[in-house]
Amino acid sequence: MNGACRIAMVLGLLTVSAAQAQTTNLYHTNRVFSPIVLTNYPNISAYRLVNMASQLTEVVGTTNIFINTNATKAVEYEGFAWGYESANAAWTSVVAVYQSYSRNHTNKIYDNAGWVRGTKEAYGSWGAYLWYLQNQISFTTSVTNVWISPHGVTNRILQVLVGSLGDYPPQTNVLDIGPTNWALITNYLGSGIATDVVYKANLDTYYELLIPDLIVMPPTNSLLMTNVFMAMSYPTRFPPTNYLFEVRRAASTNWYTITNGPSSAVTTVVAVAGTFNVRVTAWLTNAVAISTEREFVAQFPSYQEIIANTAVIQRTSQAWSNTLAATTSTGRREEGFWIQVNTQSQRYEFAATDIGPTVGPYTNASVRPRSKPSDSHLTPSPIDRPTYTIAYFHTHTPTTYRPHGRAVGPSRADSLFHNNYDVVGVVQDYSAISGGNIPSNHPIGSASQLYHSGPNRRTLPP
């Protein structure tokens, strides 16, 4: 069938006094699809984007239905009545008989379906007429339940929106009859009144797709921080019943399950460092679809994050107190320890304390760190809960009993060590009095602080 055809109205003996309708109506609905255009989207806020995404119709098209020409036809009905005492009686007679007088137009769909009807007085009696042209369209909604975008992305078809006819599941056979505005067609219109109405079916077809999406908040985070993976799915009026959240290393194709269940959001504590891809698969009763992959970067904790941890604060201030308590007029020593994050217990942990050699007032103090503790996992999977060594802390010593002052903060050797071992350096020392120095005989209880040395955070693994 090549488009819709038109048919000339066959009115027989009757003429229509009413003016021809100027517009063609659509049956059964009068809906219009209009596209939403997103412009300038790289610069908009996340809130605005989510807000706009919620307005998306997830509708693609225009496409077409697949008409079964053998079972498609237009049916033309005609009814006449004359010689009645009243218009109402003539009309009642027409409504009773019109379906008995019909003609089939096989394999036709007409754009001027509808009706012409009325009552008319002639020679002292009443007549009535009804002409009604009806389309019977047999079609299959789609040949497949998957839509493939011009870029090769596949999506499940949730519904096939057939122009003015209605919404149907994909791959469904439908026989649609219209127009069927029965009250308008058969109700009594009045004495001496005629009307005609033209209807057509709009067969512009669109596919409504199931589109799951994923929001990673925040997209870059540090170990032991809380992260949220939130599934979004469109159209929102069809909420999925199950969500599978998965993660893979960016450099690997092996997916690991984060959660699989009815919850659309997952809150996790970041446990494995690296660059990952995350996706969500959403299920509806008749469809399943996988979201676009979103990147997630899990960093080691930064210097600021490490020194904000309460266990680190407690442990380093204890080490400083120990260092001061070990100081006498003849001797003093540094102490230090490796700092780890245990993502299983979600706590900071500390290796055993290294105590430096006790030295006299004329000798510089130092501490020799024990071997760096290995990470618990050499190549953790994205869902392991490793323990990582991320920092080394040590103290510097008072000048209270020394004959000369010194510079405060990390030494050149400290910085080399931390960089060499790829760990954050944390050094506790006195606050400077002038020019980055403290003098000889600086009171032992003077203000102290933490200093940063080496990298801001351990290097991100691949």
Positions that interact with Zn ion (CB under 5 A): 411, 414
CA distance 403 to 114: 110
Query: Between 275 and 411, whose beta carbon lies closer to Zn ion?
Result: 411
Question: Please, what is the minimum distance in Å from the beta carbon of residue 409 to Zn ion?
Answer: 9
Query: Between 263 and 419, whose beta carbon lies closer to Zn ion?
Result: 419
Query: Between 110 and 393, whose beta carbon lies closer to Zn ion?
Result: 393
Question: Please, what is the minimum distance in Å from the beta carbon of residue 450 to Zn ion?
Answer: 12
Query: Between 170 and 410, whose beta carbon lies closer to Zn ion?
Result: 410
Query: Between 305 and 414, whose beta carbon lies closer to Zn ion?
Result: 414
Written as one letter, the residue type at 277 is N
Question: Please, what is the minimum distance in Å from the beta carbon of residue 274 to Zn ion?
Answer: 31
Query: Between 200 and 402, whose beta carbon lies closer to Zn ion?
Result: 402
Query: Between 179 and 336, whose beta carbon lies closer to Zn ion?
Result: 336
Question: Please, what is the minimum distance in Å from the beta carbon of residue 400 to Zn ion?
Answer: 18
Question: Please, what is the minimum distance in Å from the beta carbon of residue 359 to Zn ion?
Answer: 13
Query: Between 54 and 364, whose beta carbon lies closer to Zn ion?
Result: 364
Whether 265 contacts 258, CB under 8 Å: no
Question: Please, what is the minimum distance in Å from the beta carbon of residue 355 to Zn ion?
Answer: 14
CA distance 329 to 267: 55
Question: Please, what is the minimum distance in Å from the beta carbon of residue 403 to Zn ion?
Answer: 20
Question: Please, what is the minimum distance in Å from the beta carbon of residue 334 to Zn ion?
Answer: 7
Whether 169 contacts 159, CB under 8 Å: yes
Question: Please, what is the minimum distance in Å from the beta carbon of residue 231 to Zn ion?
Answer: 49
With CB atoms as reference, the residue minimizing the distance to Zn ion is 414
Distances (CA, A) of 277 to 110, 336, 382: 53, 38, 10
Query: Between 210 and 319, whose beta carbon lies closer to Zn ion?
Result: 319
